[in-house]
Amino acid sequence: MTLPQLLKEDGVYNLYVDGKPYIALSGEIHNSSSSNLNYMKEKVWPNLRGLHLNTVILPVYWELIEPEQGKFDFHLLDGIVQQAREENVRLVLLWFGLWKNGISSYVPGWVKKDFKTYFRAVYKNNEPSDTISPLCESAIEADATAFLQLMTHLKEIDGDQHTVIMVQVENEIGFLGSDRDYSDHANKAFDLPIPAEVESLYSTSGTWAEAFSQNAAEYFMAYHYARAIERIANAGSAVYPLPLFVNAWLEQFPWSPGSYPSGGPIAKVMKLWKAAAPTICLYAPDIYLPNFAEVCEEYTANNDNPLFIPEARRDIASATNVFYAIGKHDALCFAPFGIEDFLAPPSDDGGGGIDFSLLMTLNIDFSAFMLNGTGPYLARSYELLGNMLGVIQQYRGTGKMTGFLQNHDQGCILSLSKYDLKVTYTRQQEGKPISGGLLIEVSDHEFIFAGIGFSVEFLPKDGELGKVGFIRIEEGTYLKDEWVRGRVLNGDEAAYKLSIGSNPAVLRVEPYQYR
């Protein structure tokens, strides 16, 4: 079978799995869940089956794969891949190697104890951190060696089946708590002239401080993290070239590097990352912030990066956000975090729960991690979308599909080929998803609406005379990309506005104009 690959075709990115376009309706499990096969079997897989996922995102751990230097143990990976096959889902692996959420907690014990060889980044007050410096060549080489072994083994056990379709290299990279590393190694490098490739990229010169002024520390860290990731990713890709990507902990209040991991692949340094880490195929935002639409726009600006969301909010907004991400931005993946909790029994925390004291320490909004009835709504959204992915794929990148999302506004106006469309959002209610959805313009006079909590009104184009009526309005659903009609709406149900309520649903509509 053809190796999974990411291709840009006619202006839109497509992820191919077994030679066919693929969109991941996914979820990421808790950090420690995949460290034990029995736990996965008893506490994770049973809680995922009702969510209609086609992909699961989960970690593999350097500390468990190489517990002794040079001795590798892949029985856990083998078991995870086998379990995924039994569940009939694909996997995206997260390599928890040198860096996870800005620190180095998943490195093996032999790395942690040898802190002279594998030296740490240092805070400005000369205090050592829990983060191995991205300038530590020995650590990067050790990680690259382990990652090469991981990808070599993965090719051996999965090279013909492609249960694993992508790999994320590290997780939310960057230095937390400081704008840069102040170790002796970093200080010397910071005072050197910027590398030639950076000089050419930004048409500037001098030391990092001279070239980038107030942004110097963050750009310095971004360059060195990207170089490290390139070394690691290239080692693995050389033996098994699956699509490899990185994810970003986004900028947050008070908007200074260190309040989020400095040097990570946030949008403003993406150009630098792309130049220094060409093996990485995409840059993925972890979206816990409330401005979901803005982040999606930021990560798809200039159409030079596909939208792939490996971590998203756990609250009920996710049931709607997935429609917007796919409809408006041709998203290739949507995945709320801690997905095994969503349909877990009330007595079961589904994976260790969420440490809210840690969220406070890290200045992260609690609401992003609250489950407030999310599971059943997300399951319905995934079921609906999963049965029409072929239809969606047909319209990706054509300009005939878009999305809309409530953001403290009442609605929006969409301009179509022959009509203007007034979308009115349902007033937000506690315990109900926000409003939003996607629209497909099948032809000038045929439309598909899917989503939650909105009504639509077709209007003549601005300046045109006449009125709009309906030939047909159908409720229904898709089953393996084939439309299955429900009620045909007419009379009172179709006299004024077409509406979708608080449960995810789809309508097919055929309007016409008359005078």
What pLDDT band is residue 355 in, cutting at 50, 70 and 90?
A: low
pTM > 0.75: yes
- Please say if the pLDDT value at position 352 is more than 50: no
Instruction: Dump pLDDT digits (tens) for 449-505.
Output: 999 999 999 999 988 888 999 999 999 999 999 999 999 998 877 766 789 999 999
What pLDDT band is residue 359 in, cutting at 50, 70 and 90?
A: low
Instruction: Dump pLDDT digits (tens) for 370-410.
Output: 899 999 999 999 999 999 999 999 999 999 999 999 998 89
Range 304-310 average pLDDT? 97
Task: Give DSSP secondary structure letters for 287-333.
Answer: E-SS-HHHHHHHHTGGG-S--EEEEE--STTHHHHHHHHHHHH--SE
Q: Which pLDDT does position 351 carry in this prediction?
A: 40
Q: Which pLDDT does position 367 carry in this prediction?
A: 80
- Please say if the pLDDT value at position 61 is more than 70: yes
What pLDDT band is residue 274 in, cutting at 50, 70 and 90?
A: very high
Place of tokens 């840069």: 180
CA distance 199 to 188: 18
Could you give phi then psi for residue 73, rounded to 5 degrees? -130, 115
Q: Which pLDDT does position 515 carry in this prediction?
A: 83
Higher pLDDT, 127 or 496: 127
* Least confident among 149-153, 167-171, 330-334, 409-413: 409-413
What pLDDT band is residue 348 in, cutting at 50, 70 and 90?
A: low
Instruction: Report yes or no: 332 and 392 within 8 Å, Cβ to Cβ.
Output: no
Tell me the CA end-to-end span of the chain in Å, nearest whole number: 57
Range 240-262 average pLDDT? 94
Domains of the chain: 23-386 (3.20.20.80), 401-514 (2.60.220.20)
What pLDDT band is residue 347 in, cutting at 50, 70 and 90?
A: low
The secondary element (H helix, E strand) that includes residue 275 is: helix 270-276
DSSP label at 412? E
